[in-house]
Amino acid sequence: MLSIFLDFLFPPRCPNCRAYVEQRGQFCPLCIGRLIGLHALVRTGDTRVYLDGIWAFAHYQEGVRDLLRRLKYQCDRSMLSALHGILAEGAAVIPMLPHPLSAVPVPLAPERLRARGFNQTEEIFASWLSEHGIRLSPLLTRTRHTAPLYERTRAERRHELRGAFAVTEDSDVRGKDFLLVDDIMTTGATLTECARVLKTAGAARIYAFVLASEHI
């Protein structure tokens, strides 16, 4: 009842171009075509060594970038329905993954988690993963603060991240397959370091999902 009333007062619009759409949180067909779509990312160097596959659900541009920024920096959780809608387009990847599989969110630095009150990656992926029978297992932690990685070279990023993550105590990852999840991928240095830590602890295959990639 409330949603009918809300739709009447504020008809649902595309979060990118403000065109009218049928459901709240939905992108319009034009914006879906340009910004959203499951795609495998090319792995090079270390990323190829430690990650067995990476998929992004959207491009980190325009409305997708704005939704993520508002969720992260203004803690605006009303962005989540549109972000969940982006994932809905990506169910085709499930048959390509091994089962059983546990999803591991890339952990936030403790001070950032305290300030924000939530890990945006968990908020974005939790319900979608649960719908597809993939358990969310937060078994990586940050062991120290890392400096911002933007405007760094690939080698500098790798150096900055080395030793910044660890498998939580009591977690036995040996022989198991994992799916790393993160909100954005830029160079892949963070995902690669997380995968390296898991594989060093004995994990078998590591895949990764990111909501949005800066690579086209």
Of 6-14, 107-115, 164-172, 201-209, which segment contacts Zn ion by CB under 5 A?
6-14
Specify the residue, 11 or 133, whose C-beta has the smaller distance to Zn ion: 11
Task: Note whether 30 and 19 are within 8 A (CB).
Answer: yes
* Residue 30: φ, ψ to 5°: -65, -45
Of 14-22, 120-128, 154-162, 186-194, which segment contacts Zn ion by CB under 5 A?
14-22
Strands (DSSP E) contained in the chain are 36-40, 53-59, 102-105, 135-136, 140-142, 165-167, 178-185, 206-213
Specify the residue, 16 or 121, whose C-beta has the smaller distance to Zn ion: 16
Applying CB under 5 A, the site for Zn ion has a residue count of: 6
Q: How far is the CB of 175 from Zn ion (least distance, A)?
A: 45
Q: How far is the CB of 14 from Zn ion (least distance, A)?
A: 3
Give the residue, chosen from 17, 93, 97, 166, that forms a contact with Zn ion under the rule CB under 5 A.
17
- By CB under 5 A, the residues from 18 to 57 that bind Zn ion are 19, 28, 31
Specify the residue, 65 or 142, whose C-beta has the smaller distance to Zn ion: 65
CA–CA separation, 31 and 27 (whole Å): 6
Count other Cβ atoms within 10 Å, centred on residue 98. 13
Q: Which of 112, 125, 113 is nearest to 181 (CA)?
A: 125
Residue 177 host element (H or E): none
Contacts to Zn ion by CB under 5 A? 14, 16-17, 19, 28, 31
